[in-house]
Chain A
């Protein structure tokens, strides 16, 4: 093949491009409005194409996935039926208790601490290609009322936080990202601790848990929800269930792992909570 190499091109071009990159990095880390202007422009052009490609992709892959899922589903059905029987009996008991609780709440005029948040459904239309930074894009934006800092749920569990918003899209950074911490608590004994993303743990489908007090008796299966002292997440959102716990060598704190409620490998629809946590500034 006849390939012509343009030899000895001036280095100036490279220096200019590198300069532009460094400039962009500098500006974008200080100014968020600059980011959103740039992102909005590109998005307006590419969004319809991305949506189309996503449809093509899901059309092709959904068929394959269906076949794979069939076996899993059969197995799961059996499990679920057993669980259903158990839950039915528990439900009956709980209903009685709920009635009692309602009566007591009326008596105490307790304020509802965890109101039902207003939310908005959205489709996941793209995911970051880097296998390191886990973020994805949804097809709802500021036009639908999505704002930076809103919490995002899927499968009933916390998924992440909206970090960038355009007119018709928003980017969501997930809690499985390495270095992301969520202030959490246990619903059983109310003890507070941190849940964090970790590469190694996530390859086993888990999140990390640390800074739990030695006095807390957290154990496998305990429900973990976002804490009311978190400044990013609304209180009472389900994160997952404790998988394992161990006492640290300092004999002061306990660490462990949490199995997230949301399945991060198969996110296609998510729920955006339209309330942003008040930071009390």
Chain B
């Protein structure tokens, strides 16, 4: 229960910071995708089940506020969370650059998915333009934020685990 509450708060804080502080400032032109960081981090650290649930929640929230089609981001994030969980299950490592690799991988999947979906609507520019004006700047900023947020999220995870251990369930 505490875990659910903690995730709920994390999603809320990440969403508000991303959309209502970062995106609303004219100083920050490219907004780092904080929700994506949350999804792949939790997926990688905790496994497929939590990864996909967090992904679904983050995506749905994003869709409900800004998406033109409800369900698309939820779909992308769910798959990402699950995929990162698979990687975590098979090959969990504390290798220092792992978060960056995960970030690169998820951005790649996310942007190719988004581009393919957007491409169904006529009039969108070529993939080159999309790559240089949207994907790569966002990747750089998100990568930077990953360096800060991934260790933080791992600390939060450890904290939640300590919480849960302190009050073990009693079976009669």
Give residues in A with beta carbon < 8 Å to B: 1-3, 5-7, 9, 13-14, 17-18, 20-29, 35, 38-39, 42-43, 46, 49-50, 53-54, 56-58, 60-61, 64-65, 68, 124-133, 135, 137, 163, 171, 173, 178-181, 196, 198-200, 202-203, 265-266, 268
Cβ contacts A to B, 22 pairs, < 8 Å: A1-B94, A3-B157, A9-B48, A9-B49, A18-B75, A21-B71, A21-B72, A22-B71, A22-B75, A24-B71, A42-B61, A42-B65, A58-B25, A61-B27, A126-B20, A128-B19, A128-B65, A128-B66, A131-B31, A132-B118, A137-B65, A178-B124
Most buried by A among B12, B22, B122, B123: B123
- Contact between chains at B21 and A38 (CB < 8 Å): no
Task: Give the docked Cα–Cα distance between A266 and B47 (Å).
Answer: 40
- Main SS at interface, chain A: helix
- Contact between chains at A129 and B21 (CB < 8 Å): no
Most buried by B among A21, A28, A35: A21
- Contact between chains at A126 and B23 (CB < 8 Å): yes
Size band of the interface chain B makes with A: 35 or more
Q: B97: CB under 8 A from chain A?
A: no
Which residue of chain B has its CB nearest to the CB of A5? Answer: B47
Taken residue by residue from 66 to 93, chain B's Cβ proximity to chain A (1 for < 8 Å, 0 otherwise) reads as: 1011111011001100100000110010
CB distance from B26 to the nearest CB of A (A): 4
CB distance from B27 to the nearest CB of A (A): 6
- Contact between chains at A126 and B19 (CB < 8 Å): yes
Chain A residues whose C-beta falls within 8 Å of the C-beta of B82 in the assembled complex = 14
- Contact between chains at A14 and B27 (CB < 8 Å): no
